[in-house]
A and B are shown apart, each in its own frame.
Chain A
Amino acid sequence: MTRLRRAALVGNPNAGKSALFNALTGARQKIANYPGVTVERKVGRLVLPSGEPVELIDLPGSYSFDAASPDEEVTRKVVMGEFPGEAKPDALVIVLDAANLEQHLVFAQEVIALGVPTVVALNMIDLAERDGLVLDPAALSQALGVPVVPTVAVRRRGLAELTEAIGSAEELADAQSHPDPRPHITLPERRLTARNIAKAAILSESTEHRIHAGLDKVLLHPWLGPLILFAILFVIFQAVFAWATPFADALDAGAGALSGLVVANFPAGFLRDLVTEGVIAGVGSVVVFLPQIVILFFFILLMEASGYMARAAFVMDRMMASVGLSGKSFIPLLSSFACAIPGIMATRSIADPKDRLTTILIAPLMTCSARLPVYGIIIAAVIPNTSVAPFVGLQGLVLLGLYLAGIVGAMVVALVLRKSVTKGDASGFIMELPRYQLPAVKDLLIGLWQRAWVFLRRAGTIIFAATVVLWLLLTFPKADPGESQVDASFAGQIATAMHPVFEPIGFNREMTLALVPAMAAREVAVSSLATTYAVDSDDEDKTLAALEGKISQLWGLPTALAFLAWFVFAPQCVSTIAVARRETNGWKWPAFMVGYLFALAYAFAGLTYWLATAAGL
């Protein structure tokens, strides 16, 4: 008997595999209450009671080994030992949703029939209890011929027992059934068996198990549903401005005070300027947006954990269908509101290749959180902070408008693509709508902390680096007395050379200059502007408030609006381009994506500028 080295978690989507994986290995994989969250295999380390470590593999959810989408294909390959560079798992842990046994037992039979040592985690026991189900794990174990351990992954219940069962899986293997001798068990036969096993394992069940039916009546209502979705988005963007302001102001004041301290305590010179103009003015101007980012993610995480996300997909499917996409594209596109990179990855759960490609190509049009600082600073500078109605701030309304512009743009582009380069039949929409859950406060806080950390790390690395490089290019060569430092610098010369291209669409030189380092990350547009104006001025005040003042004073409204329009479309993010290359296996589609997005950005920025100018704004 060989030692157990590798165990994999398998089961239907949304059974709680990743939640168990996190609980067992201490990993922080994304978990959310909709099917198709995990799209890649992930490896972690589980320590058995004997002290021996085991490689635990988290896999995408799957309904059958007859894979229908790229993520299911990953699961099949890993379990069958066909995944390149990876040995076949020695043991399998089937994760079942205790409240939906009849469905989950179908795939479970297929897995057990492989004859690999297997353990069943009867997960979500708490939800089964909530729905009035009383289960008999022993009966289930007997019927399946494998050990069954009741668990509640999110409350860490049953983990020790499960670990122990995994540890003994090898020894049990001999006692377990070997590969099923019957060659062809049909799906209907499996379904019948599943029903019978489930019936035998359910000791009692109350008749009313649909606590969420009432909620669905409202949230999926033909016209209330869309109205509610829109209202939720509206509230989110109002909150992003209204709730964040006190925190953002405090952060900004902190940055200002820090800058003052540095000026007071260090001699004037290269280093002091680098810290005040490059680091504090530049990077600081981005960090100030942390509260807004946290608020945005608070709502996204809430929707993901509650089960509302799948309902939103249902409500949006009609619109997606009208442009040749399915509601399946909705969740990757929604993930793109956080960041296009996980959004593009999430398209792996889309079965149809052309559907998937279209979704990848339009994902960068969804307003990612990196655009928030750019929108935030421009809106704060040029849009008055007034209310158009009680509790309806104009700034939040403009922000909502920018998000909607991205969505409408994406829909129109999808329509055109589906009639040209990704022509084909629109594919269908089939999706399990998960049960509603009250999000656990602790999970929510951990999720928020992770997002905040990712943002701060970006600020400390890529944004910091891009800003410091720009500062150096702005500082050298030194200007002669009387000449502007920015004009004399390398960066200024680059900007002057590029400016003729952007002048027709209303961009000034500082904006043009900001576009180049902002390819590294969109937030760098803000830090670049902050640094450029800081180098340019003799003011000691280098806070975000100062940048706001500069923008509202130096940019006309048409120019500011044109800049916003540019960022709705422009693919200012090399990481996104790289991921698109990886997911489409070549440069052809990313090149196409970058080309069309820049063309749209230029056209719409221009249009905005000319229209606003003509309107006398």
Chain B
Amino acid sequence: MTLEALAIGQRARIVAVDWDRVAPEDGKRLRALGIDEGARIAIAHRGVLGGRDPIAIMIGRMTIALRRAHAEAMTVEHL
């Protein structure tokens, strides 16, 4: 299942990322923030006014905003 489909509050681990679906600069940023294979994350907030974009995820002690398109490129498994 993708990160995009994860329920709010559900803890999960990223098991694979399809980096080809992410713009190179964005990929760099995501990896720099630790959003990569093996990372433990949870979705904290989702989208504004009906649209499910952007998404805020918790990773370590950080809250990071990213786009749904990024989340769709990431496969996660429940913890």
Interface residues, chain A, CB within 8 Å of chain B? 63-64, 66, 68-69, 99-100, 102-103, 106-107, 131, 187-188, 191, 209, 213, 216-217, 220-223, 225-226, 310, 313-315, 317-318, 321, 326-327, 351-352, 425, 427-433
The residues of A that contact B62 with a CB separation of less than 8 Å are: 100, 103, 432-433
Contact A220 B66 (CB under 8 A): no
Interface residues, chain B, with chain A CB atoms under 8 Å away? 22-23, 25-26, 28-34, 36-38, 44-51, 53-54, 56, 60-67, 69-70
Known: A317-B54, A432-B65. 14 other contacts (CB 8 A): A64-B28, A64-B32, A68-B32, A103-B60, A187-B36, A220-B45, A220-B56, A318-B51, A321-B53, A327-B54, A352-B25, A430-B70, A432-B62, A433-B64
6 A–B contacts from the bound complex (CB under 8 Å):
A68-B28, A188-B38, A216-B56, A223-B49, A428-B69, A430-B29
Q: Closest 10 interchain pairs by CB?
A: A63-B32, A220-B45, A433-B63, A428-B26, A351-B25, A68-B28, A430-B29, A431-B65, A318-B48, A428-B67
| B44 adjacent to A222 (CB under 8 Å) | no
Which chain B residues border A217 with CB–CB below 8 Å? 45
- B61 touching A102, Cβ below 8 Å: yes
CA distance A216 to B62 in the complex (A): 13
Chain A residues positioned under 8 Å from B48 (CB to CB): 222-223, 225-226, 314-315, 317-318
Which residue of the partner chain A has the closest CB to B58? A210
Q: Name the distance in Å between A242's Cβ and chain B's nearest Cβ.
A: 30
Q: Given A216-B56, A321-B53 in contact, is the A63-B61 Cβ separation under 8 Å?
A: no
Q: Which residues of A contact B49 (CB under 8 A)?
A: 222-223, 226, 318
Q: How far is the CA of A188 from the CA of B39 in the complex (A)?
A: 10
Contact check, B64 vs A431: say whether CB atoms are below 8 A apart.
yes
Task: Establish whether residues B31 and A187, one from each chain, have CB atoms under 8 Å apart when the complex forms.
Answer: yes
Given known pairs A220-B56, A317-B53, the reply for A103 and B61 (CB within 8 Å) is: yes
Q: What distance in Å separates the Cβ of B55 from its nearest Cβ neighbour in chain A?
A: 10
Q: Closest approach, in angstroms, between the C-beta of A358 and any C-beta of chain B? A: 16
Asked if residues A427 and B47 are in contact (CB atoms below 8 Å), the reply is: no
- The interface centre, meaning the residue of B32, B47, B67 with most chain A CB atoms within 10 A of its CB, is B32
A428 partner residues in chain B, CB cutoff 8 A:
22-23, 26, 66-67, 69-70
B25 adjacent to A103 (CB under 8 Å): no
User: From residue B69, how far is it (CB to closest CB) to chain A in Å?
Assistant: 7
What residues of chain B lie closer than 8 Å to A107, measured between beta carbons? 32
Instruction: Find out whether the CB atom of B56 lies under 8 angstroms from the CB atom of A433.
Output: yes
Say yes or no: A106 contacts B34, CB within 8 Å: yes
For residue A327, which residues in chain B have a CB less than 8 angstroms away from its CB?
54, 65
Establish whether residues A63 and B29, one from each chain, have CB atoms under 8 Å apart when the complex forms.
yes
Alpha-carbon distance between A428 and B70 when the two chains are bound, in angstroms: 8
Alpha-carbon gap, A103 to B44, bound state (A): 19
- Minimal beta-carbon separation of B72 from chain A (angstroms): 12
Q: Which of A107, A187, A428 has the most CB of B within 10 A?
A: A428
Q: Are B65 and A318 in contact (CB under 8 A)?
A: no
Q: Establish whether residues A429 and B66, one from each chain, have CB atoms under 8 Å apart when the complex forms.
A: yes
Distance of A425 Cα from B67 Cα, bound (Å):
14
Closest to A192 in B: B38
How many Å lie between the Cα of A565 and that of B69 in the bound state? 38
Given contacts A216-B44, A222-B46, A318-B51, contact A102 B33 (CB under 8 A): no
Q: Is there contact, CB below 8 Å, between B63 and A432?
A: yes
| CB atoms of A68 and B29 under 8 A apart | yes
Measured between beta carbons, the chain B residues less than 8 angstroms from A99 are 61
B16 to chain A, nearest CB (A): 14
Known: A68-B25, A318-B53, A327-B54. A222 touches B47 (CB 8 A): yes
- A425 contacts B31, CB within 8 Å? no
- Report the Cα distance A317→B67, complex, angstroms: 9
Contacts of B31 in A (CB 8 A): 187
Bound Cα distance from A221 to B69, whole angstroms: 20
CB neighbours (8 Å) of A63 from chain B are 29, 32-33
- Specify which chain B residues have a CB less than 8 angstroms from the CB of A64 in the assembled complex: 28, 32
Residues on A with C-beta less than 8 A from B67 are 317, 321, 326, 428-430
Chain B residues near A351 (CB-CB < 8 A): 25-26, 29
- The interface residues of chain A lying within 8 Å CB-to-CB of B47 are 222, 318
Chain B residues with Cβ below 8 Å from A326 are 67
Which residues from B are CB-within-8-Å of A433? 56, 62-65
A484 → B minimal CB distance (Å): 56
A213 to B38, CA, bound (A): 24
Q: Which residue of A lies closest to B28 (CB)?
A: A68
B60 touches A191 (CB 8 A): no
Nearest B residue (CB) for A66: B28
CB distance from B22 to the nearest CB of A (A): 8
Which residues from chain B contact A131 at a C-beta distance below 8 Å? 61
- Taking the closest CB of chain A, its distance from the CB of B23, in whole angstroms, is 6
Complex contact A425–B36 (CB within 8 A): no
Instruction: List A contacts of B28 (CB < 8 A).
Output: 64, 66, 68
What is the CA–CA distance of A213 and B33 in the complex, to the nearest angstrom?
19
Q: Which of A99, A107, A318, A327 has the most CB of B within 10 A?
A: A318
Residues of B within 8 Å of A225, CB to CB, are 48
In the bound complex, do residue B61 and residue A430 qualify as a contact, i.e. CB atoms below 8 Å apart?
no
State A223–B48 Cα separation when bound (angstroms).
6
Q: Which among A220, A226, A427 is the interface contact of B23 at CB below 8 angstroms?
A: A427
Partner of B65, one of A69, A103, A314: A314
**Chain B residues with Cβ under 8 A from A221's Cβ?**
45
CA of A433 to CA of B66 in the docked complex: distance in angstroms? 10
**Which one of B33, B46, B53 lies within 8 Å of A103 (CB-CB)?**
B33
Q: Is the CB of B36 within 8 A of A188?
A: yes
- Give the complex CA separation of A103 and B23 in angstroms: 22
A110 to chain B, nearest CB (A): 10
B44 to A, closest residue via Cβ: A216
**Inter-chain contacts of B64 with A (CB < 8 A):** 430-433
Give the CA-CA distance A321 to B44 in the complex, in Å: 21
A437 to chain B, nearest CB (A): 14
**Residue on A with the closest CB to B24?**
A68
Chain A residues within 8 Å of B44, by CB: 213, 216, 220
B33 lies within 8 A of A427 (CB): no
Contact A100 B23 (CB under 8 A): no
With a cutoff of 8 Å between Cβ atoms, the chain B residues found around residue A314 in the complex are: 45, 48, 54, 56, 65
